[in-house]
Amino acid sequence: MKILSRIFCVVLILLGFTLGSCVKTNDLNFEEVEKIALKSWIEKNRPELLDNYQPQGGYYVELIDEGSADSVPLRQSDSWVWYDITCRDLAGNVLLTRSSDLARMQNSYTEYTHYAPYFIYCGEESGAMIEGTYMALRNKLKIGDKEYVARYGTKMRLYLPSSIVGGVYSDGGYEGQYKLDENKPVIVDMEIMGHVINPLAYEDQWIRSFAEVNGGLAPNNDSSQKENSLAERYPVKQGLTRGDESDKKEPILDDKWRLAVDSIAALYINYRYTPKQRLNFDCLGADTMMHKNQTVYNQGKIYGVKSLDEINKEIDDILLERFGEGLDPAEAEPADSVKGLKVWYITRLMDGFIIDTNIAEVKRLVYNDPSISDEDCEALDFDIDNPDNNNYVDAWTYAMPQMRIGCWNVILTGSSNAYGATGVSGSHSTTSSSTNNSNYYDYLNYYNYMNSYYGNGMYNDYYGGYYGGYGYGYGGYGGYGDYYNNYYYNSMYYNSLYNNSYTTDTTTSTTTTTEVPAYSPMLFQVFVEEADED
């Protein structure tokens, strides 16, 4: 495949000589030259696509699957679209992929990455998508002597000049093995997995479906919930007060999903959950499922080998072994009766994928990393008395004060109380730390102490000599200064012992931030304990 990339470069060079013989060099800009070169490449390698040229953008389309004929075309509405995508250069090198299988082949796979289609706004204007892919979704496509518009199920391959690519960049496990120069064309494989006009309504449908198959959703007009307003009960926002204790109503502690606070939409708590109850994530019917396996994640080394039910059983067994079933919520103290909480949690997307957890045994399992130690995972602190000290998603801000101490609870929330319309971008961050090692490191510190304690002002001499010329400021002791400076410290101690045994170990660690798509409803399995007094 590399020969194809070389052919394209040769074509550009030959075009430069050819065009230079008949036109002035400033008559054609790079964009025009590249389009001519791309056409030459298509003529050489994919001549059957010459009639599929798109004048607006100057790219070529291979239509692989027309999709569902009765689906509404994307260009007819402003919508949010799910689409799978893989980008390659002309040599076939992967630059970006949402496929866990391709990521593993490219050595860019991570256990922290949620391999699922993009979910991006695609309206009359859209700046989040690669420009060429946006054009292909929103415009009528010329396929031979016919016109075609993209819709649900459409699969196509786009040959895009760099002028409508803008550089392909991705991170967090989606980036493939190679990076692309901004002035190179890109081959894009796309599949339209679905689209919705109102993502908030769709995620609300998802939340309700999940609640119904996992115990049932309590009526929204429950009078006790209405009376338990946020302002009456919990100081979760600056300026709010607890109110008169006699006015507070106890929540109904049954196995239904109930609004955490009546004034906050799409935020539910299940007080009777225990890890003995298996959570069922396969809750959307075929008529609402927008892409394959949307509600049951099955990608990657862990989720792709075991079923989600098997993984959940292993996780539940871990939770029961470590924390037990928890107290009966009717017999447990309410969280707002103490100053602060310690929170153990598992954060999940609605397809069951675990975004994060601070439970070491669960981390070792789902991230396939036996090196994770218990010391790496600590409970999170939640300040009940001073909510401004907390820095968590709104779902926690509103729901945590209503937890039961020593109990398992599940929080189910819409994106408006989590990561909203922007979500979280997947990314890698790398940190390095250095550790100084020497058999004589403590020995040096000992003489530092001796100088400062006994040296009659020689503390400054010590450091001055150390940084200036490695003399250690012992002059003045009846002629022994030269001995200590020239022989013992400079020659014997520093040069012979310290330099020869001193090493620096540099540790580099990479942290992957899991992508959270826009408008993602979320689930938090939490176990709360009273925080220590200090």
DSSP-based three-state secondary structure for 488: helix
The average pLDDT across 206-225 equals 77
What pLDDT does 126 receive? 76
Instruction: Kindly tell me if the per-residue pLDDT of 506 is higher than 70.
Output: no
**Quick check: is 429 in a domain?**
no
**Quick check: is 379 in a domain?**
yes
How many folded domains does the chain comprise?
A: 3
Do 265 and 156 have their domain in common? no
What pLDDT does 227 receive? 40
Report H helices in 400-457: 441-454
The answer to whether 267 touches 417, Cβ cutoff 8 Å, is: yes
Do 360 and 216 have their domain in common? yes
The average pLDDT across 174-188 equals 87
Half-sphere exposure of 352 (CA within 13 A, CB side): 27
Instruction: Kindly tell me if the per-residue pLDDT of 471 is higher than 70.
Output: no
Do 187 and 276 have their domain in common? no
The answer to whether 329 touches 256, Cβ cutoff 8 Å, is: no
**Quick check: is 242 in a domain?**
yes
Integer Cα distance of 468 and 491 in angstroms: 16
In whole numbers, what is the pLDDT of the chain averaged over residues? 80
What are the Cα distances from residue 267, in Å, to 59, 417, 517?
46, 7, 18
**Quick check: is 13 in a domain?**
no
What are the Cα distances from residue 222, in Å, to 43, 196, 218?
69, 31, 8
Domain boundary among 145, 178, 196: 196
The average pLDDT across 364-389 equals 93
Domain boundary among 196, 228, 260: 196
Strand ranges, E, within 135-234:
141-143, 146-148, 155-160, 186-196
**Quick check: is 19 in a domain?**
no
Do 79 and 188 have their domain in common? yes
Phi first, then psi: what are they for 507, rounded to 5°?
-110, 125
Q: Mutual orientation of helices 2-20 and 30-45 as an angle, nearest 10°?
A: 130
Q: How confident is the model at residue 435 (pLDDT cuts 50, 70, 90)?
A: low
Do 383 and 468 have their domain in common? no
The average pLDDT across 239-259 equals 65
**Quick check: is 28 in a domain?**
no
Do 133 and 99 have their domain in common? yes
Q: How confident is the model at residue 219 (pLDDT cuts 50, 70, 90)?
A: confident
Do 53 and 173 have their domain in common? yes
Do 270 and 361 have their domain in common? yes
**Quick check: is 36 in a domain?**
no
Do 128 and 192 have their domain in common? yes
pTM of the predicted model, to two decimals?
Answer: 0.78
Q: Which residue has the higher pLDDT, 372 or 445?
A: 372
What pLDDT does 446 receive? 37
Instruction: Kindly tell me if the per-residue pLDDT of 4 is higher than 60.
Output: no
**Quick check: is 41 in a domain?**
no
Do 211 and 244 have their domain in common? yes
What pLDDT does 170 receive? 83
104: CATH: 3.10.50.40
Assign 3-class secondary structure to 28-91. Answer: CCHHHHHHHHHHHHHHHHCHHHHHHEECCCCEEEEEEECCCCCCCCHHHCCEEEEEEEEEECCC
Do 295 and 237 have their domain in common? yes
The residue segments making up the domain with residue 256 are 199-421+519-530
Instruction: Kindly tell me if the per-residue pLDDT of 157 is higher than 80.
Output: yes
pLDDT tens digit sequence for 16-60: 434 444 445 467 888 888 989 999 999 999 999 999 999 999 999
Q: How confident is the model at residue 230 (pLDDT cuts 50, 70, 90)?
A: very low
Do 73 and 150 have their domain in common? yes
Integer Cα distance of 384 and 483 in angstroms: 64
Domain boundary among 181, 196, 211: 196
The average pLDDT across 388-411 equals 94
